[in-house]
Structures are given as C-alpha cells and as structure tokens.
Structure 1
C-alpha cells in the first residue's frame, strides 16, 4: 500500500511536467513557416547555408572530393568557366537565366538535376528562389560574417509598449514578429526569483529573499544588484571560466599525481567578484608576466596557461610533450578569444576556414618561448607544480593575495607562465603537426590575416597578442564572450556553436543583437556585471517558460525566444542546490579542493593514480559540504557524480556543456548519500522549528522550490507524510536505518519516526523536475 501511495504521489507531481517535456522533446525541430523572400539576399545568412548543406560536399573547399573542377564556396570558383563546358559558368552575376547553377537546381531531369537524386539531398522551392534572387542581385560573395568587425545598428522599430524598453527586447521582439510569434507573459515572481538567484549565484534564494521580493516590495532591479554583490556570484561565474581554463587538481596522463593550482581558482573567483574588466581579466591571464614590473597577483593569473595536462611518466620524449603543451596553449587562446577551430590547422590547412597551417604556427610562436619542459620529473615530487612557478606564502595571503584561502602556514607552489629571457626559441611549421618534423623557413609570431593581421606596432609576444585581440576593430573577442554569457543564461548562445564562429559553425540567430551587445560591452569598459545586468533586466529573460501550442508549431526549439527555456542546472550547481536548501552548505570561499562522498573503489580499481592519488581518502567535517566548484578533480578519473550530470572532464578547453537526460541522473537524485543526508538534516531542522507538519512542508517548498505549495500539492504531501509516519512509528528500526546516513551527527533528541517521514517527503521534492531546473 505504501509503495502504491508513493507512486501515486510522484505521478501526481511529475507526470504533468513530463508530459510537457515529452511533447517538447519528441517534436523534433517543428515546421517553421517559410519566411518571405527578403528584399536583400545575403550570401552569408541566406545562400551559404544552402550551398554548404547541399553542394559543398562535391563543389566545396575539399580539393580531394571536388567534382567537375567546380568550386562554389568562392566567387572565383563560382564565376569561372566550367571545365566540361568552357562556354558556360555556374554563376553569372545579374543573369540567373545564364547561370548553370539555376538551370541545374530547377531541373527535373534526373540526369541534370542538382543535387543528384542519389545524394538524398534536396533544395526547397523557397531556397531555390533565394538563390535565384541572389544571382539576380549580383551574386555578391561576402567576407565571412564573423570576420567583419561588429557594428552597433539602430534598434528595430517595433512597438514594445507594455513590454520593455530594454534594447535587447527590441531585437528579440523583431525576430518574433518576423516569424509570427509573440512573447510569453512574465513568469510568476517566485519562479523569477529562483531563476535569477540560480543564474547569478548558483544557489536557490533564501527564504528571507523570497519574502522580501514577494511581500516586501523589493524591486527586480534591487534583487539583481543584491545577487550581483554576493560573494557567491564569483563562484558561479568561475564555474564557466574553469571549464575554459581546463582547471584540475592533478597533472593527468598515466602517473597522475596531485598538483596545487587552486590559488589560481581563488583568483578567478576574486576577479569576478571585484568585477575586473574583461580586457584586464584576459590580459593578466595570457600575459600578466609580461606587464611592466608584474606583481604576484598578475603572475598568479598566468597560471591559466599552465592548467593543461603535464606528464610525469618516466621515459617520455621531452620535446614531444613540450610541443603538446604549446599546442594546448595555442588552441585554448583561439577557442576563448577567437571562437575558431584553429586546431584543425595543426596538421594541414584548415579545410573550411581561411586559415593555413602556416597561420596556425605563426600563432603557435607566441606561446613557444616558455622555458617549461615536457618532462620535469617523475610522480612523487614534493613540489606540486612545474617550473616556471611561484610560491604562495603565508605573508602573501595577508597582503596582495589576501583573497587566497590558505588554511595553514605551508607554502603552495603554482605553475605560472614565463618567457625565455636571453633567447627566442625558433618556430617552424611542423609537418603533419609532428613534433620532430619542422619544415620550411623560420616563422615570426603572427595572426591569421583573414581575421585581422597582427599590428607591427605591438610587441611580438603574448602581451602584444592579447592587445591585438582586444583592439576596437577586432571582429571576434567581444562577440565570443558576450555569446558565452548568453549561453550560460539561456542555454544556447546567439551563436549556437559557441566554440566555432567559423564557416562550419552555426549562424547567429539574432546577428544584429549579438553585434549590438558586443560593441556595447566594449564601449562600456568590458564591464561583465553590467552586461549580465542588462540581460537579466530584459523582458526576454523575465518571460514564462510555459510551452504554448504556437511555440510547438512555429518554433519548437525556441530559436526566437518567445518563452524562457527550461534548463537543468549544471552538475556542480545541483550539488550546491541540495546543500544550500538543506542548510548543510559551508559557504567558505576558495581554498584547497575537497574530496566528498564517492563510490568506494573507483580510484583503487584504476592504475592511473600515483602517490596521494592512488587511494581515495574522503574528507571529513565541513569539507564534505563545500560547493561543487571545490570538488577535487583527478583528470584521469573525474568525479562520477559530476560526470553523470554532464560536468566537464577538464582535460581540454571547453566552452559549453551538454545537457543530457539519463536514468542514471534519476538514480543519483534518489540514492546519492548527499541527497539523502541533506533530506534528513532538513527534516530534522523543520521538525524542530515546527510542531505542525503542514508548516514544515510549506517551509520545505520554500527552501527547495522557492514557492508555497498549491492546495493539491500540500494535501498530497501531507497524506504521504502521515502514511510514512505511521509506517515508521510501527517500525522504529526501519526509521532509524533511514535516518542513519551521512557524516553529519544525529541529534540525540530527534523524533526519529517524524524525521524519517518528513525526510521521504523532502526526497520526493528534490526529485521533482522543477527542483533542479530553471523555469
């Protein structure tokens, strides 16, 4: 009877939400109505995507697969006389009737039609008309959109009265109108506050904050400023950046041992909390050591460059691994500032973007002058960092590094960046990217001309490189970061392929908005908090997440943002949510990484750990209840509880995470010792504070869902509580077994049956989709 009642309880709460989810998930991309043919057809935004999907496989940049000598991805190739019929041309600007491309795509003759029937590709009638109009208008090939400096266009002239005066909303509303959509109503205040708190701090709102916002008249703008000033803001933002910085607590590779880069993590949190401008934030990390008379904080920031994997295996070839480290630095720079897949040009010219292998190694040269070694010593060294390094002393933490949470008096070694002082290491193109195959002439440090040529007035080192990336007319740096922030808040960037702004990446869904935000960000001093404040102040952000029938029909994937997306929290934030809402969270900022609960035997079953990392030694006391950002990350065996919820491996630079939905995730939320312990601790606290179980359940809702239960929900939970209370009263041994979980002490005076019963109610609440989802 108890099991049946429990199933009914969960069904009553979860099934309506799952029905909406399944409707959304199973619908595919939906059928967007074909838009009108625009007055001006753009190669970048209208034509190239069609040609890329249907034509470039045989007539694109890959010379090995090109057929009939025809190349359609360049104007020279498209305008040239056809090899098989020199009197004709694929594209004749202004003359679609004379263009073989038009004749072939409109043909119904199987021997003539393109794409051929056997390719299973098809160009729609709407797309054919677009190509025809493009040729009629002159068939102008444009430089790739992302390589053109952004401009701040005028706000679209749309009627926003009664919705918002925020500039973001003008661009979003214009796109909605173009596609027959209208914005959702504003979300309920309780949902809004939970959404804002999670986005800006990674934690659920406190009960006092909920009451202030719902009952005491605190405005939305006041709540935004309140959360931006919380120390937890820096921790929330650092989570994004540590994925980019490939931060971990071990060296990686087979002989995986501990390293102490955690003071760098403390610096990242500190930088976000003090709202360090993004241009300074980048400069210190890429080239703080090259600034005039750099201080210790600036040197610590350069640890960003040294977070890559480092081998401690005996017998490796030193130069092979040294080159690997430089490649990693090069790829990380290109990913975080350029949003380009530069790594594709390591072994050969980039197949799709105008970046040659020489371009790649010109960029590589900026990072090729460090004195670090490929192999410095085997596992087991007492120094947990590789040279060049700095020591963080106790005195530093009372001075310039006062943000470093140093728990004892010992020194901490951190790997940092440095250049050779008396020489410049020569750089050559490496044949097929092999460390021992240098070819051609010696290269100079430089940047891809297709993006922006390197200014000879700048120093030819990492400082000059980051200054190049931050110049006002640079096309990518501001765009890439603005897009990352948008992705963190809305789940997808305005450019959905956040790590690829190149020709094979996704087109921006709102190009004018992306450019407006990028220019505005740069014009306002690269102010990160201002950018975030602007986004979360918008009516676009404040919309309800309700999925309406016209959304499903016209925009199932929410491309045009006519509703707020439902987004499951990142892995670390699920842990933080449970700890915070239960009262278990230890809110200390920074310090060494900690080892919380983990299934026994994982490290021991692996041969990847050496020294301290051979055996997993779980921490005790307050260390068990730190935020997820402080969980110890062993590169060869990352924490399973984080990986199950799509946490980063941290072995390479990662600018976005997946959001999967698997049964293992449900099993974690039902069985993880942390979730059960948190449920028990919260139950004990609520039973102590409230004699009335109804009031206890109301507070549980406020803590976990940031709202009061609806009448039907309260009745269902009370019924479930009373049923469980009766069971545990009759079976005190079962009650004791249920609450006997976790390392936090069991109060001697606790009401075991009542705590066990309320604990079951709280476990059910934590397992609601609403609990760990932004709605």
Structure 2
C-alpha cells in the first residue's frame, strides 16, 4: 500500500505515522459512498465544527483558546497566534492545514478535540473535513442569514402525484432516497386531520357523512373550516405559547391578572385573517403607530405577558431588567429564531452575536416606564402600568370582539415608551442588572443578520419594520416553519426555535425558501399559507407505515407518509367535549377553572388572594375549550401538563410529545372523560332504537369514520358483557352514571346506559382517537 504524500507531511516536515492517517489511507474506499461529491461548509462542515470546536474556537472571544477562531474564514486562514508560520486551514493543502493534523492525531497532547472534552469526531467527520480542505475549504455565510430565494420547483413525473409546488420539492427529496409517496388516505382520515388542524375539533357526524359520501370537495372543506370561529381558537393556541400568556403574575407571591382581553384579540386577529406583518407590528409596536387605536394598544399586551413579581422587598431594578430581557429574548425567538439569550452574559459561543449585539437589541425594549415592583398582591388592579382599561362601552365599538361578561372594567398591561427621555442602555457585565459597563449603546440589530437601516425610527416600530423588510433572511422563514410544524408535527427546520449554528439544518431548504418568499409575496396571508399546505398531496397521504419507510426513513424526514401525531393537551379536552355534545362553543372571555384534583393549589403555597384556594367553576364554564383553562404560572393545570402542555413561563415555539403511564391513567379516570362518555351514552340510548345503532353513532363521533364489521362485532360483544355486569350490580351502574356535574337524564335501563358509557370510554382511550392519522 502506498500512502499519499500529503496524508502525513506537515509544514514540509514528516511527522510520525499514526493510526488516524492510516484510517484515511486504508479506509477511504470503505466509507467513500457516504461522502458527497461536493462538500458544503454549511451542510457538512459547520455542523461538525459547531458541535465539537466552536465552544473553544468560536465567536466568544472571552472563551477562545490559542487565539484561534474557526467559525469564519478570516480566523481559520490567519497565521496561528502561537506559531505564525503555520495556519489552521490552508485551502487545498492538507499538508499545511494544522486542523487536519490535529483531528487526525492519536497523541493525547495533540489530538483535537482534546480527550478531556469528551468529544470525538467520527471517521466520516474527518473524511468530510479532509475533502473540504482539498476542495478549497470554502466558507459560506450561514444559510439562515442569507435572504431566501424562490427556487423553481423541480419537475417530477410520478403518476398520480400532484403538480403542487410543495409536492414537487418533497418528491424530489424522497425519490433521492429511493422512496415513493404513500397513496392518498381514506377520505374519513383526511377529513379528521383537516378538521383538527384547522379548528382543533373533530368533524361532526354530518360532515363525515357528506364528505365521505362525495357531496363536498376537499377545497370546499378547507374553506369551510378556515371560516369557522373555532379556527381562530386553534391558531391562537400556538400564539399563546409564544406570547407566554397566563392568568397569574407568577413568582412565589402569585395572584390573578386580567390579560384575557389580549387572548380575545389574538383569536379575533386570526379569524379576521389579519396579515402577519400587521399582526406582528401591532403586538410589538402598536402604541408607536400614529394615533393608535385601543385595539392596537391592546395588541401590545403581547410584550407584557412575562412574569411580574408581587413580592415585597425585591430590588426594583433587578426585576425591571428581567422584564426587558424577557421581551428581548421573546422578540429574537419569534422573529429571528435565534437563541439570543445566550449572549446576555457573554459573546455567543456558537452564533456570531456579541454581548454588545445583544444589549443593542435590548435597547429597543429598555425605554418603557414599567417598574420592577409595583405594589403587592393585595392590589385590586389586576394589571401593571402602563395599562389600559377595557370598559363595557369599548365592547360595543372597536373592541367588540372582547367577550366582556359584566359591567366591571378590566385592566390590561400594555406597552408604552418614555415620552421625555431615553433610558441609557449599557452592556451588563456578565448580564448582572447592576453592573453596566462601557459607553451607552445605540439601539441596533445584529449586523450578521441584517444591519439596522438608519432611515428607520430607533424604537420598537423601527425594529419590527426591520424584521419585516423584504430582504430580511429570517422572519418569514421562521413563521412558515412554525405553521409547517403545526401541520406536520416537525418543522422543515426541526429546531424551530434555533435557526443558528447549533440548530438543525433544514430538511428541505429549497421548499422552506419557496414558502417563505411566497408567503411574503402574497401579503403575509396566513389563511392562504395554511391552504397551500393542506391542499398538497403530501398532506393528504396515508399515514400507513411501509417496511421500506422504517428501513430508509424511520423518522419520516422525507415525508413519504403522513406523520402520526398525538393531539396537543388542550385539544384532547376539546375533542371529548365536542364529540360528546358537552362543549360550550362560546368564544373568548375570562379564563375558567374546570375539574382539578383537590389540594394541589393549597399544597403549593404559592397563591395569594383569589389564588390561595382553587375554586372550581360551575355550569357552562366547566365545558369551555381548553384554551380558556385558567393558567396559574406557579402551578399550571395538571391535566394539561400530563399531555405536555406549555407551562407558559417563557416563550415556547414547540411542545414535546411524550408517552407516559400517567396519560393512560388520565384518559381512563379523569372526570371530564367519564362525564363526556356518560353524556354521550345518555343521549344515544334515548335517540337510537338499538344498541347497534347507538354504538355506530358513538364510533363515528369519536373516531370520525364508519366502523368495520369486526369492530362492530367486538364493541357489541363488549356492550353486552358490560350490560350483564351492571344488571348484577345496579348500584355500581348508578355510581358510574353519577360522575360529573352536568344534569343526568332519567334512564329507563341504567345498566344499558352504563354499558354504552364504558364502550365510549374504551373508544376515547384508543390510540387512533387522539392521533391525527
């Protein structure tokens, strides 16, 4: 075997042959099929360096080792500080590139990453770096910092696959993996997923029958659901996680606050299809618009939804700074998809964002008159200044969308800037509130993303105009990615909150850019964006998993099938209330307190005033949608947390989906599940002449499709077994039917009602029921 000369020469001098070089010489053919013909810095090299090298050789100058910076070409190509004759990377030359020498070495004092870091490059990683250097070691601007371009969708000739732009991009990627798309799902499955995605509710029996029977087209159903008031509630759920909406102030001395008119506005904005640029502008800077309306002022409550202390004895400035930090971090996550909070205490270790960049952005939010502490928990005003009052007369006019249940006025915390002065902003040493350093900063944006235009006003209005500029690389990408995540379970950028160096690479970069530009070109129209997604063949595919899917694409990255997705926590509640007939479809209004295990609030000792004791609501308030469930920041609703609901204490752009035994126990025993099953059983027993008809109706309501013959037989047998059981123990039937506070119907044969109730409980506990398939 003959070794290549440049595999073991370094700066013109032979160095000892070590195992790493032998691997490259001997093993190259073995893994060459895994190495792309053209190695890309963005998609192949940067992820390796970011995971293994940037902590010590990245943007953070304070933590940089040996003066070596590898995240840009200036640093990588420069002469080494400790050895000016050498360079970390020399394009085209492995012999002269110290990086290749160090990652190939097996000597503990030479190898990189060093052994004590517990990091290690794979052989494929080393081969990629090797080939990249040989091909010229070209650096590229991080993909997310380059304005998106509207690529022409690739052609495809797959029979039966649509010419929809999304499908062209998706098919091009899946076919490169040797995959073919699934056939279209059965119409009932399609309708269920569409209804849940657009309204958060299951389709009604009539909707199922008319669509499955071919009486209504797909586009008709899309338009029908987009126009339902429930659409705004479904979309608002995502935005309330982002805007960290809750019904209490948070921190230990927790008490109620009345931000709920803001929630009503969010629902209204989605139902009115307010364009996304307007939607953002009003929330971040509605108060800075010329002669702002009360609706525009209400929208700025977005900025004030963070936790606010009511604890006596705190340091005012410490908490005021915390509030500004929260606003800054929320802005960066919502519009930029960048983990800017990492630069609060030091230069970002992975992204080219300095601490000065961070506090220059912070300056946009640092000019408000709000206080860190404004009175204790005994205050009768449920909002903090600056605030507005929503009065009954407002709800007869411009705020008609606010569901104001009584004549009392409601206080809402909003945004406002100081009128006669500008609060100076400094870099805070290590991010500490009382350690300002250096000269005052000018409000500015990270230049690596897009410099702030001097023609824009240096305030929040100018900031959001900067974010919405045509050549801004991130704002439209971040939002279309969030909507894709809502529909398909995972964004085209899987790390929806991190488009930076440590974030996941886009799975379909050209499709992401096409959607981002198309969204902006069409007036930031949210309903249109959703319609584009759900009218694609990709969306209408079957969710059936083929053996080749598991072999070639177990995580469904290439979308050769529709992803099976469990519903969000609030939608599980909504599903049962709606299908059972219990749901009260009232839009908006104050939050409600449904069933909750006794003693939880009291045990937490974090509530004051109205939140000291949990006072469960009565009547219709028990049957409102999950979006209206009261959220106490110090103890969020357990029924929602069990199913991975957001605790709302910070901006959250995605939720986890876990499977735990507690979830199964909740579905079997939660009073709301049992009550919904009881109410449906009572209604079906009295409206159907036979158990077979009642069971079929229950099946359609719960599973949103017609039962198969074997399913009918199994459920009827179960019903008969349960009927015999309750005949022998009528008291048990009586106890079962007593669950829940909704009035009971007189049952001629309680054992049959109880048996049907158990059948419905079983249906609600099926995996298919609470999964989009």
Q: Is the TM-score greater than 0.5?
A: yes
What's the counterpart of residue 675 of structure 2? 677
Q: Distance in 1 between matches of 2:84 and 2:356?
A: 34
Q: From 197, 200, 203, give the equivalent of 2:198.
A: 200
Q: Distance in 1 between matches of 2:37 and 2:750?
A: 73
What's the counterpart of residue 27 of structure 2? none
Contact 2:747/2:753 (8 A) holds in 1: no
What's the counterpart of residue 22 of structure 1? none
Q: From 474, 489, 498, give the equivalent of 1:491.
A: 489
Q: From 734, 749, 768, give the equivalent of 2:766.
A: 768
For 1:12-27, list aligned pairs within 5 A: none
What's the counterpart of residue 46 of structure 1? 44
Q: What is the CA-CA distance between 1:119 and the residue it aligns to?
A: 6.7
Q: Distance in 2 between matches of 1:449 and 1:277?
A: 27
What's the counterpart of residue 535 of structure 2? 537
What's the counterpart of residue 18 of structure 2? none
Q: Distance in 1 between matches of 2:71 and 2:402?
A: 52
Q: What is the CA-CA distance between 1:84 and the residue it aligns to?
A: 6.4
CA distance 1:192–1:345, shift in 2 (3 Å): same
1:414 partner SS: strand
Cα distance per residue 1:617-647 (max 9 Å; x no partner): 1100000000000000111111100011111
Q: Distance in 2 between matches of 1:227 and 1:362?
A: 43
1:268 aligns with 2:274: no
CA distance 1:55–1:427, shift in 2 (3 Å): closer
1:323 aligns with 2:333: no
1:346 aligns with 2:344: yes
Cα distance per residue 1:352-389 (max 9 Å; x no partner): 11111111111111111111111111112111111111
Cα distance per residue 1:404-434 (max 9 Å; x no partner): 1111111111111111111111111111111
Q: What is the CA-CA distance between 1:720 and the residue it aligns to?
A: 0.7
What's the counterpart of residue 380 of structure 2? 382
What's the counterpart of residue 422 of structure 1? 420
1:138 aligns with 2:136: yes
For 1:222-261, list aligned pairs within 5 A: 222-261=220-259
Q: What is the CA-CA distance between 1:438 and the residue it aligns to?
A: 1.4
What's the counterpart of residue 187 of structure 1? 185
CA distance 1:695–1:649, shift in 2 (3 Å): same
Cα distance per residue 1:458-510 (max 9 Å; x no partner): 11111111000000001110011011111111111111111111111111111
Q: From 551, 561, 564, give the equivalent of 1:563.
A: 561
Q: Distance in 1 between matches of 2:273 and 2:173?
A: 32
Q: Distance in 2 between matches of 1:137 and 1:561?
A: 33
Q: What is the CA-CA distance between 1:712 and the residue it aligns to?
A: 1.4
CA distance 1:750–1:534, shift in 2 (3 Å): farther
Q: Distance in 2 between matches of 1:381 and 1:118?
A: 55
Q: What is the CA-CA distance between 1:138 and the residue it aligns to?
A: 1.8
CA distance 1:355–1:65, shift in 2 (3 Å): closer
Contact 1:309/1:651 (8 A) holds in 2: yes
CA distance 1:412–1:209, shift in 2 (3 Å): same
Cα distance per residue 1:292-315 (max 9 Å; x no partner): 111111111011111111111111
Contact 2:492/2:509 (8 A) holds in 1: yes
Contact 2:592/2:617 (8 A) holds in 1: yes
- The TM-score normalised by the length of structure 2 is 0.93
Q: Distance in 1 between matches of 2:438 and 2:51?
A: 36
Cα distance per residue 1:199-250 (max 9 Å; x no partner): 0000000111101110043111111111111100000000000001110111
Q: From 454, 457, 462, give the equivalent of 1:456.
A: 454
Q: Please identify, of 671-680 and 731-740, the stretch whose mean Cα deviation from structure 2 is larger.
A: 731-740
What's the counterpart of residue 549 of structure 2? 551
Q: Distance in 2 between matches of 1:99 and 1:604?
A: 64
Contact 1:684/1:750 (8 A) holds in 2: no
Q: What is the CA-CA distance between 1:127 and the residue it aligns to?
A: 4.0
1:312 aligns with 2:310: yes
Q: Distance in 1 between matches of 2:706 and 2:299?
A: 44
1:643 aligns with 2:641: yes
Q: From 568, 571, 574, give the equivalent of 1:573.
A: 571
Contact 1:35/1:179 (8 A) holds in 2: no
Q: From 477, 480, 484, give the equivalent of 2:478.
A: 480
What's the counterpart of residue 21 of structure 1? none
For 1:734-745, list aligned pairs within 5 A: 734-745=732-743
2:44 partner SS: helix
1:540 partner SS: helix
Q: What is the CA-CA distance between 1:88 and the residue it aligns to?
A: 3.8
Q: Distance in 2 between matches of 1:129 and 1:768?
A: 48
What's the counterpart of residue 294 of structure 1? 292
Cα distance per residue 1:588-626 (max 9 Å; x no partner): 000110000000111111211111111111100000000
Contact 2:495/2:503 (8 A) holds in 1: yes
Q: Distance in 2 between matches of 1:295 and 1:706?
A: 44
1:687 partner SS: helix
Q: Distance in 1 between matches of 2:85 and 2:494?
A: 42
Structure 1: any 5+ residue segments left out of the alignment?
1-32
2:412 partner SS: strand
Q: Distance in 1 between matches of 2:277 and 2:65?
A: 46
Contact 2:301/2:414 (8 A) holds in 1: yes
Q: What is the CA-CA distance between 1:106 and the residue it aligns to?
A: 5.6
Number of equivalenced pairs: 743
Q: Please identify, of 47-56 and 451-460, the stretch whose mean Cα deviation from structure 2 is larger.
A: 47-56
Contact 2:50/2:501 (8 A) holds in 1: no
Contact 1:454/1:468 (8 A) holds in 2: yes
Q: Please identify, of 299-308 and 149-158, the stretch whose mean Cα deviation from structure 2 is larger.
A: 149-158
What's the counterpart of residue 619 of structure 2? 621
What's the counterpart of residue 413 of structure 1? 411
Cα distance per residue 1:320-359 (max 9 Å; x no partner): 1111111111111111011111111111111111111111
Q: What is the CA-CA distance between 1:142 and the residue it aligns to?
A: 1.1
Contact 1:345/1:357 (8 A) holds in 2: yes
Q: What is the CA-CA distance between 1:532 and the residue it aligns to?
A: 0.5
What's the counterpart of residue 689 of structure 1? 687
1:541 partner SS: helix
1:367 aligns with 2:368: no
Q: What is the CA-CA distance between 1:56 and the residue it aligns to?
A: 4.1
What's the counterpart of residue 332 of structure 1? 330
Q: What is the CA-CA distance between 1:82 and the residue it aligns to?
A: 4.3
Q: What is the CA-CA distance between 1:62 and the residue it aligns to?
A: 5.6
Q: Distance in 2 between matches of 1:578 and 1:729?
A: 27
For 1:721-732, list aligned pairs within 5 A: 721-732=719-730
Structure 2: any 5+ residue segments left out of the alignment?
1-30
